[in-house]
């Protein structure tokens, strides 16, 4: 896997990235009732047709989600995908993985959703960021506003099965390494199966991609953004 990288896990070979997208990238701050939200925006901040957010894990920051060279250049691909297709990509900072963090991310979503009323909104969460994915799904307004969740090397939350997002059949994508030492693949797979089991009347739109021999960061590196988001757009409520 490291053959893509000049420096393993730190810097991908230049031919796998296109950094011209940086001219469409802005480091911004939004003042909200929940607090100031620093975030990086790539693409159309108004009139976007699709909005994708990435919520980082423990020890990350808004910069992780716009780093062009780590994770095999996969964030660079997501930035280019959004910029080339009339989309908006957002990578925010937030104070914690609890209610305060969720309130700030919800305020950020509200702000950009109002500027792009036609946009489908997808939230991708890496590792501990997943606790925010589930909190957003459970919020009354945000759970009705988001159109899909991507859990990458992340955690599970049984309360999702009682959330507004679950009731709307919001598509959920799971990517998990088979050797993830932080969140065991068996537990995430069992949770994925519980979503299917709970939704008997109408098959729930959910997918589980297991990266054999992959570790904690593998899904962030290996997820096919275009294929996954196209599937989610086809299933969005």
- pLDDT tens-digit readout, 41-66: 999 999 999 999 999 999 999 999 99
Flag whether pLDDT at 224 surpasses 80.
Answer: yes
pTM of the predicted protein model: 0.98
Q: At 112, is the pLDDT very low, low, confident or very high (cuts 50, 70, 90)?
A: very high
| CATH number for the domain harbouring residue 164 | 3.40.50.1820
Which range of residues forms the domain containing residue 48?
2-235
Flag whether pLDDT at 2 surpasses 90.
Answer: no
What mean pLDDT is reported for the chain?
A: 98
Q: At 201, is the pLDDT very low, low, confident or very high (cuts 50, 70, 90)?
A: confident
- pLDDT tens-digit readout, 178-195: 999 999 999 999 999 999
* Counted domains in the chain: 1
- pLDDT tens-digit readout, 140-176: 999 999 999 999 999 999 999 999 999 999 999 999 9
> With helix as H, strand as E and coil as C, how does the chain read?
CHHHEEECCCEECHHHCCHHHHHHEEEEEEEECCEEEEEEEEECCCCCCEEEEEECCCCCCCCHHHCCCCHHHHHHHHHHHHHHCCEEEEEECCCCCCHHHHHHHHHHHHHHHHHCCCCEEEEEEEHHHHHHHHHHHHCCCHHHHCCEEEEECCCCCHHHHHCHHHHCCCCEEEEEECCCCCCCHHHHHHHHHHHHHHCCCCCCCEEEEEECCCCCCHHHHHCCHHHHHHHHHHHCC
Flag whether pLDDT at 92 surpasses 80.
Answer: yes
């Amino acid at each position: 896997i490291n053959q893509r990288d000049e420096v393993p896990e730190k810097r991908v070979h230049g031919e796998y990235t296109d950094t011209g997208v940086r001219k469409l990238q802005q480091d911004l701050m939004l003042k909200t009732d929940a607090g100031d939200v620093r975030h990086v925006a790539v693409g159309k901040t108004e009139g976007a047709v699709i909005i994708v957010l990435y919520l980082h894990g423990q020890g990350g920051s808004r910069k992780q989600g716009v780093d062009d060279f780590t994770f095999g250049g996969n964030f660079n691909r997501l930035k280019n995908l959004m910029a080339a297709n009339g989309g908006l990509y957002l990578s925010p900072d937030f104070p914690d993985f609890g209610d305060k963090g969720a309130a700030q991310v919800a305020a950020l979503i509200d702000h950009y959703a109002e500027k792009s009323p036609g946009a489908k909104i997808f939230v991708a969460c890496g590792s501990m960021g997943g606790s925010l994915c589930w909190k957003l799904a459970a919020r009354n307004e945000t759970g009705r506003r988001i159109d899909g969740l991507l859990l990458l090397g992340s955690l599970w939350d049984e309360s999702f099965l009682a959330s507004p997002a679950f009731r709307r059949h919001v598509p959920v994508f799971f990517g998990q390494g088979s050797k993830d030492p932080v969140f065991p693949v068996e537990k995430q797979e069992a949770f994925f199966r519980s979503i299917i089991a709970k939704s008997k009347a109408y098959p729930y739109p959910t997918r589980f991609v297991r990266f054999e021999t992959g570790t904690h960061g593998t899904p962030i590196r290996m997820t096919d953004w275009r294929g996954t988001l196209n599937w989610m757009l086809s299933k969005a409520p």
